Amino acid sequence: MSTTINAIRAGLIRGRIEFRQMVTTPQDLWNNVFPSLIYLVVMFFTRGTTVPGTDFSLGARTLPSLLGMVVVFSGVTTMMMALSVEREDGTLLRAKAVPGGMVGYLVGKIVLVATTTLANVAVILLPSLLFLDGLSVGSVTAWATLLGILVLGMIATLPAGALLGAMLNNPRNSGVVMLPLLGLVAISGIFYPADGFPGWLQAVAYAFPVYWLGLGMRSALLPDGMAAVESAGSWQHLETAGVLGAWAVAGLIVAPIVLRRMARRESGSTVAARRERALRHPA
């Protein structure tokens, strides 16, 4: 027990240090903040456009959907790339050699990704409150719902990112995940209502967390009257909690098993082989 507790403490410290390094390194900070700044520009230039059939700002309607997308991309891609890159450079092998090292490593990555996600959400949300009208942010319920969706969304996506990172042998092959993820975003009602797509595409969207994170964020930040323009004509709170909860439970069960198997396969020879391949085929 003491080894696990010490590993968790070390992971919390590691995560805090990595986040501090990220925000104090100009290139890393820019790489993390730049997409959020682009989203802010989109919100600003769509603030005067209205949702078809209503007088509600399209920018205000898109904002919570973008926040949901940020949670997905941070949880999945950041965790996936961190695991994949640090398998290649030997970081995971060094963590494996220390008692409780893998636990500490994963806790550190969770802290890093979670804090980075919250920072990106703040970068988009707080300035948007200054120029977008119609957002329902004047009640404790709205903020509590927003926080609940954020936490549940991260629990649902972080294990998926860890699982993909454990399966991705080469970080240069991240396109095999990124392209389907971008396609999923396109059909999940982030920029265009999901009910405008064929039924089979809607079914695909409803099976993944992207749609439900966007819907949950909209239920937190938009007035109740905007539920009428959703596919089901309501915020579907139970369905949102159910789908995100199911993804969270499945990820928390499957990801540790895959990560343990991945860690057992790590050795000096496998790291050396990956380095040799990287030197032969630089990206």
Q: Distance (Å, rounded) from C-alpha 76 to C-alpha 59?
A: 25
The closest alpha carbon to 109, from 165, 49, 193, belongs to 165
CA dihedral 22, 256, 179, 244 (to 10 degrees): -90
- Secondary structure class of 171 (helix, strand, coil): helix
C-alpha to C-alpha distances, 183 to 178, 180, 245, 264, 271, nearest whole angstrom: 9, 5, 23, 34, 32
Quick one: pLDDT at residue 146? 92
Please give the model's pTM, rounded to 2 decimal places.
0.85
Domain that holds residue 197: 2-47+56-280
**What's the confidence (pLDDT) of residue 247?**
93
Q: How many domains does the chain have?
A: 1
Q: What distance in Å separates the CA atoms of residue 38 and residue 43, rounded to the nearest whole number?
A: 9
Who contacts 182 (Cβ-Cβ below 8 Å, separation ≥6)?
none
Residue 84, CA distances (Å) to 19, 146, 176, 219 in order = 18, 31, 13, 35
Predicted pLDDT of residue 270? 64
Helix (H) or strand (E) holding 97: none
Under 8 Å between Cβ of 41 and 129: no
pLDDT in tens, the chain (283 residues): 577 788 888 888 988 998 999 889 988 888 888 888 888 888 888 888 887 777 888 888 889 989 999 999 888 888 888 888 777 777 777 777 777 777 888 888 889 989 999 999 999 999 998 888 888 888 899 999 999 999 999 999 998 888 888 887 776 777 778 888 888 888 888 877 788 888 898 999 999 999 999 999 999 999 888 888 788 788 999 999 999 999 999 988 888 888 777 777 766 666 566 566 655 655 5
Greatest CA separation for the chain: 63
- Joined tokens for residue 269: 């020879």
Opening angle at CA 54, ends 51 and 56, nearest 5: 65
Q: Per DSSP, what are the bridge partners of residue 256?
A: none
